[in-house]
Amino acid sequence: RIDAAPSVFSTDETPNTFEEITTYNNFYEFGTGKEDPARNAGALTTDPWSIVIDGLVDRPGTYDLADVMKDQPLEERIYRFRCVEAWSMVIPWIGFELAGLLNRVGVQPSAKYVAFETLVRPEEMPGQRQPILEWPYREGLRLDEAMNPLTILATGLYGEEMPKQNGAPIRLVVPWKYGFKSIKSVVRISLVADQPQTTWNMLQPSEYGFFSNVNPQVDHPRWSQASERRIGAGLFAGRQDTLMFNGYEEQVASLYAGMDLVANY
């Protein structure tokens, strides 16, 4: 078991089971079906693994995973996870704050955004043999979002190493945003001056904004975001109300003070 300290940011809601978390995934690199990642991710090589950290940083370079994690305190973060498809889970991640890594590599003052990329390796990631999305999968955060203590790089869950279908060996988790922002199997982190391109926004800009904060008042053009189905709640459990910023309003609302959240969806 991985040693990880408890966190004040953890919810006391009951986490979903390991089986639920690891057999119901959106990870299009391994197929578009929810069961595809669990079925197809086994062949992914996660060791060795390195991350390119570049752009507007003092110490750019190719960092080995162990080096990326060096001296970063691991915590268990039990977070709500809300998918843009209106389902949700509660997941006991293990990870460290992204801010810790960014501070270590030295963010230059001109950096305003952080851009992330997922591994491209079609021979191990069968979904990438089709142009379903434009590979590599890309995501991005504004620098203040990246520096928020809720934002973590997760390397495990339920006390174990990150399962491959969940984004092994290291992935982003941004709990107040829709799940697709939490990019998996990260191989590149770039500090940049301008808002980076992000995969779902490139595919369908009217439906998937750069911010994609969980917001029950701003509907997806094709479906309501007012409520969600909690996975594992049972056949007749119905739905629960979706919370503003997925329930993390207290920690993140100030990031968006004065911003029009309908225009900046």
Partner 1 sequence: MDRLNQIARRVPVNAVYLAGVLPFLWIVWLAFSGGLGVDPVKAIELRLGELGLQFLVAGLFITPLRWAGLNLMRFRRAIGLLAFFYVGMHLLTWVILDMGLRWEEMAADLVKRWYIIIGMIGFLAMVPLAITSNNAAIRRLGAAAWQRLHRLTYVAALAGAIHYVVLVKAWPVEPLIYLGVICLLIGARLWRNRRHSAPQVV
Summarize as ranges the residues that interact with partner 1 (CB under 8 A). Answer: 16-17, 19-20, 23-24, 28, 32, 34-35, 85, 87, 132-133, 203, 219, 222-224, 226-227, 229, 231-232, 235-239
| CB-nearer residue toward partner 1: 60 or 232 | 232
Produce one character per residue of 41-80: b if its CB has 16 or more CB atoms within 10 Å, e if not: beebebeebebebbbbbeeeeebebeebbeebebbbbbbb
* Residue 32 C-beta: closest distance to partner 1, Å: 5
| CB-nearer residue toward partner 1: 149 or 232 | 232
| CB-nearer residue toward partner 1: 121 or 229 | 229
User: Is the separation of the CB atoms in 261 and 213 below 8 Å?
Assistant: yes
| CB-nearer residue toward partner 1: 86 or 143 | 86
What is the rounded distance in angstroms from the CA atom of residue 171 to the CA atom of residue 138? 12
Rg (CA), the chain: 17
* Residue 137 C-beta: closest distance to partner 1, Å: 12
| CB-nearer residue toward partner 1: 159 or 238 | 238
* Residue 54 C-beta: closest distance to partner 1, Å: 29
Which residues, in sequence order, are bridge partners of residue 142?
A: 113
Distance of CA 70 to the CA centre of its chain: 21
How many CA atoms, within 13 angstroms, populate the side-chain half-sphere of residue 36?
A: 13
* 223 SS3 class: strand
User: What string of H, E and C letters represents the secondary structure of 227-238?
Assistant: EEEECCCCCCCC
User: Is the separation of the CB atoms in 213 and 247 below 8 Å?
Assistant: no
* Residue 226 C-beta: closest distance to partner 1, Å: 6
* Residue 33 C-beta: closest distance to partner 1, Å: 8
